[in-house]
Amino acid sequence: MRKVAVSTRQSRKRLREALRAAISYTVLVIGAAIFLFPLYWQVTTSLKTASDAMRFPPVWFPSPPQWSNYLILIERFPMLLYFRNSLLVSASVIVGTVLSNSLAAYGFARLRMPGRDKIFMLLLSTLMVPGAVLIIPQFVMFQRLHWVNTYRPLIVPAFFGGPFSVFLLRQFFTTIPLELESAARIDGAGYLRCYAQIVLPLAKPALLAVAIYSFVGTWNDFFGPLIYLSDKNKYTVAVALRYLQGSVRTRPEYHLLMAAATLAILPPLATFFFAQRAFIQGTVITGVKG
């Protein structure tokens, strides 16, 4: 008798769990469809003819896909040049960010000096100061240095640390066992060698996360290139998109605009798929948007 009661209770519990899973999946699938459909629309619009893009009822699948839209776009606008510019800036920023922040993080995590933690907190506090608050005096400063309309305002600051990366790397460095280093120290290795030959190789996942964040952040950055770059040939992809949007405004060619937008999101998207784990890990460690 009791056995029966237990088993019906169990089966009822199982039923309830199955029901809950079904509802959860339904919500998740509908949500995912809503999240993905704009991107689907962007890519398919980029493969439609100009008239198909504006047809009603809508053309759900472009057939045949107009790959030539991309060729037309590249012919009309020097997209490859903009890509090259963005890559140049991003690569320099990655080098600067990884180098300066790993050095600082090593100091903050491993070496002692008076007031060290207070300085660290002070650096961290700049996380709460939005960039736009500082942009005016920064612009004036770079203008006085005659750096406007060069890549220097976009690149040079990266070589001087940043709160997000320093925090992420310091957190990671403190998890690396000290013994490894003390052994090397006894063998006469200096701090710089400990940093370069022991800590850095062990911190590869964190360094990768920092590199990826600075890549995506720089690639997507709009405000900086917008105010500092005035020469069209120096535009990065983000500002070039805005220039494109403006130049075809009189007669909107949405299929070409969507082709440009699709090209622009490819590098961050590829990076995301390639290193998803490192990406999400960075968010978890710091809780800060890169």
* Choice from 10, 68, 143, 197 touching another protein (CB under 8 A): 143
236 with 89: CB under 8 angstroms?
A: yes
**Interatomic CA distance for residues 187 and 200, integer angstroms:** 19
Residue 4 vs 238, nearer CB to another protein: 238
Contact 46, 252 (CB under 8 A): no
| C-alpha span between 282 and 219 (Å, rounded) | 18
Fill in the per-residue mask, 235 to 274: x = in contact with another protein (CB under 8 A), - = not in contact.
--xxx-xx--x--------x--xx-xx--xx--xx-xx--
Contact by Cβ (8 Å): 203, 221: no
Member of 161, 206, 224, 229 binding another protein (CB under 8 A): 161
Please select the residue that binds another protein; options are 6, 15, 18, 21, rule is CB under 8 A: 21
Q: Which of residues 172-191 bind another protein (CB under 8 A)?
A: 191
Which DSSP category does 231 fall into? S
What is the smallest separation between the CB atom of 7 and another protein, expressed in angstroms? 20
Residue ranges in 59-98 that form contacts with another protein under rule CB under 8 A:
none
In the bound state with another protein, the residue whose beta carbon lies nearer, of 4 and 121, is 121
Contact range with another protein by CB under 8 A, out of 3-11, 61-69, 110-118, 202-210? 110-118
Q: Render 95-130 in DSSP notation, one character per residue.
A: HHHHHHHHHHHHHHHH---TTHHHHHHHHHHGGGS-
Pick from 19, 32, 145, 180 the residue near another protein by CB under 8 A. Answer: 32
- DSSP code string of 207-243: HHHHHHHHHHHHHH--HHHHHH--SGGG--HHHHHHH
User: Is residue 145 part of the contact set for another protein (CB under 8 A)?
Assistant: no
